[in-house]
Amino acid sequence: AQTIHQWPVAEIKAVGSPLSLGCTIKGKSSPNLYWYWQATGGTLQQLFYSITVGQVESVVQLNLSASRPKDDQFILSTEKLLLSHSGFYLCALQGENTLYFGAGTRLSVL
């Protein structure tokens, strides 16, 4: 069975500081991967998706970027955090007829 490990579990960062969030997949080769952002109790906003190494498509512009350096790794980053980046970041994997989500990273920007 596939597993999704997200790191870190939570981050508290200052406005203007850099950020890097990660997601590692086990148990599925060449997965389609997604990054989602969720405001507290809010809807799931898809940010990026990737179908293969080195290829990432942006869905919505939020001053964030994403990279797929390895088949099993998906990274979300920015050089300068904004207050509006606070929220819950979720990595997801396309499975058979469904999406599987990681446990998420809670980001607080102060």
Partner 1 sequence: QQKVQQSPESLSVPEGGMASLNCTSSDRNFQYFWWYRQHSGEGPKALMSIFSDGDKKEGRFTAHLNKASLHVSLHIRDSQPSDSALYFCAVSENSNNRIFFGDGTQLVVKP
Residues that bind partner 1 (CB under 8 A): 41-44, 46, 49, 90, 92, 94, 97-104, 106
For residues 18 and 42, which CB has a smaller minimum distance to partner 1 in the complex? 42
In the complex, what is the shortest distance from the CB of residue 45 to partner 1, in angstroms, rounded to a whole number?
A: 8
For residues 14 and 41, which CB has a smaller minimum distance to partner 1 in the complex? 41
In the complex, what is the shortest distance from the CB of residue 48 to partner 1, in angstroms, rounded to a whole number?
A: 12
Burial 64-73 (b: 16+ CB within 10 A, else e): bebbbeeebe
For residues 16 and 95, which CB has a smaller minimum distance to partner 1 in the complex? 95
DSSP codes joined into one string, 88-110: EEEEEEE-SSSEEE---EEEEE-
For residues 46 and 67, which CB has a smaller minimum distance to partner 1 in the complex? 46
Cβ-in-10-Å burial (0-12, 13-18, 19+) of 40 comes to: exposed
In the complex, what is the shortest distance from the CB of residue 90 to partner 1, in angstroms, rounded to a whole number?
A: 5
